[in-house]
Amino acid sequence: MKGFPRSCFLQLTQMALILKLVYMSRASEYDYLSWKSDGYHAGSIYVKPPRCVDIPDDLRLCHGVGYKEMLLPNLLEHETMAEVRQQAGSWVPLVHKNCHPNTQLFLCSLFAPVCLEQPIYPCRWLCEAVRDGCTPIMEAFGFPWPDMLTCDKFPEGDVCISRTSSNASEATKPTGVSPICPPCDNEMKTDAILEHLCASEFAIKTKIKEVKKENLDRKVVLQKKKKALKLGNLKKKDLKSLVLYLKNGADCPCQQLDHLGNTYLIMGRKVDKQYLLTGIHKWDKSSKEFRKAVKKLRSHKCPAFETVF
């Protein structure tokens, strides 16, 4: 086609094929194993063929993602909705951190894949873009990019799920503003505070004695007087001399660490031999949202964050 860029032609061809598949997907069960991606092999054989099910309201990661039905088992080999809920719930905080505009698209293409006759996997470059944007956030909480999302598993070309934005460069374009250190997001919302809790092992009420830079981290020395709200694996003898590190936080802004006279709700978890600061919120009794979060600290049930974010 003269004057028409080949890249645009290929994109239109790919979109036409995907639309064709969408119109074909009206049956309730599909032959899942009849199609194999050149770049990805799930490796499991299911007793029951995949079926279309409604995306439930309580699947927070993917509810409202743009379509109403998903394939079960999904592309991460979760065979029950209970398993999908448990694993997907751990990723909701990452989406809220806005580390990449297509984080939800990438995750939901695997956790809650759209119902098609042939499963469509995310493109490898989409995985790499989300990984590169979100890994620094995850590392701040002591979580690595998981093996189950290794990007070289996914296809490089042909039909695969790409971005939602019209310009790929927009997805990774820097804003020019230094991002707030992830654990220092001081939004006084109950859900936000509880999300920090779910990335943590312990929570305490205390003041800060001093803060200093140590290599790429920030070392946070607490005052001796501390009130344990949730100890987790932290022992009382360790609580007395507890020192926390803001991972890769030497230069990112953290307003809470600039005002050492305040009392804070501080959360953390042990990674290797260090205790990482995973959440810090001003102890504000005047905030209804904060009081509600503190009340739920001991009873709140968190997703299985040990295996994913």
pLDDT tens digits along 88-103: 988 988 888 889 999 9
User: Given this model, what pLDDT does residue 98 score?
Assistant: 87
Q: Using DSSP bridges, classify how beta strands 274-282 and 243-246 pair: parallel, antiparallel or unpaired.
A: parallel
Higher pLDDT pick, 129 / 234: 129
Taking only the tens place, the pLDDT of each residue in 188-209 is 788 888 888 888 889 999 999 9
User: Given this model, what pLDDT does residue 202 score?
Assistant: 92
Superfamily of structural domain 23-172: Frizzled cysteine-rich domain (1.10.2000.10)
**Which residues make beta-bridge pairs with 222?**
208
Label residue 28 by pLDDT band (50, 70, 90).
very low
Taking only the tens place, the pLDDT of each residue in 133-176 is 999 999 988 889 999 999 999 998 778 998 754 444 344 444 44
Taking only the tens place, the pLDDT of each residue in 248-275 is 999 999 999 988 889 999 999 999 889 9
CA dihedral 218, 222, 228, 230 (to 10 degrees): 0
Label residue 186 by pLDDT band (50, 70, 90).
low
Label residue 50 by pLDDT band (50, 70, 90).
confident
User: Given this model, what pLDDT does residue 119 score?
Assistant: 86
Domain boundaries, the chain: 23-172, 182-296
Comparing CA positions, the residue from 135, 100, 118 lying closest to residue 40 is 118
* Arithmetic mean of pLDDT over the chain: 79
Q: Tokens in use for 58?
A: 């309580």
User: Given this model, what pLDDT does residue 264 score?
Assistant: 95
Label residue 5 by pLDDT band (50, 70, 90).
very low
Q: Is the pLDDT of residue 125 over 90?
A: yes
User: Given this model, what pLDDT does residue 290 score?
Assistant: 92
Q: Is the pLDDT of residue 34 over 50?
A: no
Question: What's the average model confidence in pLDDT over 49-64?
Answer: 90
Between the alpha carbon of residue 181 and those of residues 133, 168, 195, 252, the distances in Å are 14, 25, 15, 5
CA dihedral 133, 78, 75, 31 (to 10 degrees): -170
Q: How far apart are CA 296 and CA 35, in angstroms?
A: 46
User: Given this model, what pLDDT does residue 73 score?
Assistant: 93
Label residue 123 by pLDDT band (50, 70, 90).
very high
User: Given this model, what pLDDT does residue 43 score?
Assistant: 44
User: Given this model, what pLDDT does residue 178 score?
Assistant: 53
Label residue 2 by pLDDT band (50, 70, 90).
very low
Label residue 114 by pLDDT band (50, 70, 90).
very high
Comparing CA positions, the residue from 277, 283, 240 lying closest to residue 262 is 283
CATH of domain 182-296: 2.40.50.120
pTM, two decimal places:
0.71
